[in-house]
Amino acid sequence: MRVTAEIVGSETQELELGANATYGDLLGAVGLSPHEATVLVDGRPVPDDGAIDAEHVRVLRLIKGG
CATH of the domain at 21: 3.10.20.30
Instruction: Tell me whether residue 66 is in a domain.
Output: no
Domain encompassing residue 56: 2-61
d(CA 35, CA 12): 20
User: Taking the chain, what is the end-to-end CA distance rounded to the nearest angstrom?
Assistant: 39
Write the pLDDT tens digit of every residue in 21-53: 999 999 999 999 999 999 999 999 999 999 999
Count of domains in the chain?
Answer: 1
Instruction: Tell me whether residue 19 is in a domain.
Output: yes
Whether the predicted pLDDT of 64 surpasses 70: no
